């Protein structure tokens, strides 16, 4: 279902956690050279990295409608700020000029494109007269809209692998989005996306689906209508949905597994009802807005969190007893991750309480609550 990409580090750390021996250069090659992966706005107006076949479905089911709403919002701001009385015409002109500039230069950051399209430098005042008033740059909003139209995409960032100052390139270097997405209606794409979620995350509840997609409950129900699902009992006594061909009561237990997942990892953020795998640790491992920090998983449950010392060493904190064998394996994985990161200090965009504690540790440690 893709990897969260709001925090650039998450893409690489999530991939490392899932692919044994993965090198960062391999992920970068897939994103920027082979272009088999693409960064794009998707569910809940969140940035994801998706494989191309799924990117087309995400675009048709989410990005297009989000773009429509965002364009209307920007048009209203343009009128309120007195920039234009014909916002639709004005905005279309700036969007087309921006796309033409990217086609001309091949790749450019927002600041570079502003030199070619002066309107991108405009700052729009918003929430005037309120305590939280501020400004919104036309460049960031226009580039977002052109991307959600399927015309441009984020390329290689300027700076390190932790940078979010992306260059913008023509979408056709990855995929002919307009042609491929035309094979779907919005409704059929939404059905396809829900079916894939159930395949990857099911069983789950209607609330899980509604939250994860960012759609209304009515939209989720319509998407489910043509999918063969069955109701199944969940461990907490609630009822969930699973694909009818994905229910196997004779399924053998899975092999034991341990993972150090980064902040905003798609597994940690896969459901809105989280007690069944998170237990009582939400306040320690999530921020107040529901963003997950780095977590430690043992056999499908969150048992602790991890962070870094100033020198880049990965340190862990267990919030429950997992036994000596699992504890040793967690320490081994932390050491491997320290080596892989190579001394880089990763600062999550949404810090959680446990990370502040771990960042101040004087040395290697595995702590228990």
Q: What is the CATH number of the domain that holds 202?
A: 1.10.10
Q: Which of 202, 223, 246 is the last residue of a domain?
A: 246
Q: Which domain holds residue 201?
A: 187-246
Whether 226 and 106 share a structural domain: no
Q: Is residue 2 part of a domain?
A: no
- pLDDT of residue 366 exceeding 90, the answer is no
CB under 8 A, 24+ apart: contacts of 322-331: 322/298, 326/256, 326/258, 326/298, 327/366, 329/258, 330/258, 330/260, 330/296, 330/298, 330/304, 330/366, 331/366
**Domain co-membership, 54 together with 174:** yes
Do 89 and 109 fall into the same domain?
Answer: yes
pLDDT one-digit tens code per residue, 211-267: 999 999 999 999 999 999 999 998 777 899 999 998 875 556 678 899 999 999 999
For residue 359, what pLDDT band results from cuts at 50, 70 and 90?
A: low
Range name among 93-97, 230-234, 290-294, 352-356 with the lowest pLDDT average: 352-356
Residues 317 and 271 placed together within one structural domain of the fold: yes
Which pLDDT tens digit goes with each residue over 30-74?
999 999 999 999 999 999 999 999 999 999 999 888 999 999 999
How many separate domains does the chain show?
3
The dihedral sign for the CA sequence 47, 48, 49, 51: negative
What's the pLDDT score for residue 86?
97
Residues 175 and 83 in one domain: yes
DSSP per-residue codes, 316-336 = EEESS---HHHHHHHHHHHHH
Distances (CA, A) of 210 to 66, 207, 214, 233: 15, 5, 6, 19
Q: Do residues 238 and 272 both lie within one domain?
A: no
- When pLDDT is cut at 50, 70 and 90, the band that residue 364 belongs to is very low
pTM: 0.91
């Amino acid at each position: 279902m893709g990897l969260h990409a709001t925090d650039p580090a998450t893409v690489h750390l999530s991939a490392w956690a899932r692919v044994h021996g993965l090198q960062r250069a391999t992920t970068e090659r897939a994103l920027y050279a082979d272009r088999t992966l693409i960064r794009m706005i998707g569910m809940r107006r969140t940035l994801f990295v998706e494989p191309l076949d799924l990117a087309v479905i995400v675009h048709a089911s989410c990005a297009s409608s989000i773009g429509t709403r965002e364009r209307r919002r920007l048009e209203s701001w343009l009128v309120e700020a007195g920039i234009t009385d014909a916002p639709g015409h004005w905005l279309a002109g700036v969007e087309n000029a921006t796309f033409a500039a990217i086609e001309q230069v091949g790749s450019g950051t927002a600041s570079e494109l502003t030199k070619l399209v002066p309107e991108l430098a405009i700052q729009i005042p918003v929430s005037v007269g309120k305590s939280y008033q501020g400004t919104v740059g036309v460049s960031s909003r226009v580039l977002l809209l052109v991307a959600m139209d399927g015309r441009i995409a984020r390329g290689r960032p300027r700076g390190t692998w932790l940078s979010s100052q992306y260059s913008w390139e023509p979408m056709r270097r990855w995929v002919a989005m307009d042609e491929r997405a035309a094979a779907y209606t919005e409704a059929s794409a939404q059905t396809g996306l829900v079916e894939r979620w159930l395949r990857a995350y099911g069983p789950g509840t209607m609330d899980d689906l509604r939250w994860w997609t960012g759609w209304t409950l009515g939209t989720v129900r319509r998407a489910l209508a043509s999918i063969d699902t069955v109701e199944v009992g969940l461990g907490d006594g609630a009822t969930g949905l699973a694909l009818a061909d994905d229910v196997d009561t004779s399924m053998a237990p899975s092999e034991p597994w341990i993972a150090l997942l980064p902040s905003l990892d798609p597994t940690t953020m896969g459901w809105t009802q989280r007690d069944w795998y998170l237990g009582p640790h939400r306040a320690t491992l999530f921020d107040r807005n529901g963003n997950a920090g780095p977590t430690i998983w043992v056999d499908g449950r969150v048992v602790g969190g991890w962070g870094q010392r100033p020198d880049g060493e990965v340190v862990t904190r267990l919030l429950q007893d997992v036994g000596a064998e699992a504890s040793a394996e967690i320490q081994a994985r932390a050491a491997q991750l320290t080596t892989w990161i190579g001394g880089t200090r990763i600062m999550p965009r949404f810090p959680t309480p446990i990370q502040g504690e771990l960042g101040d540790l004087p040395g290697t440690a595995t702590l228990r609550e």
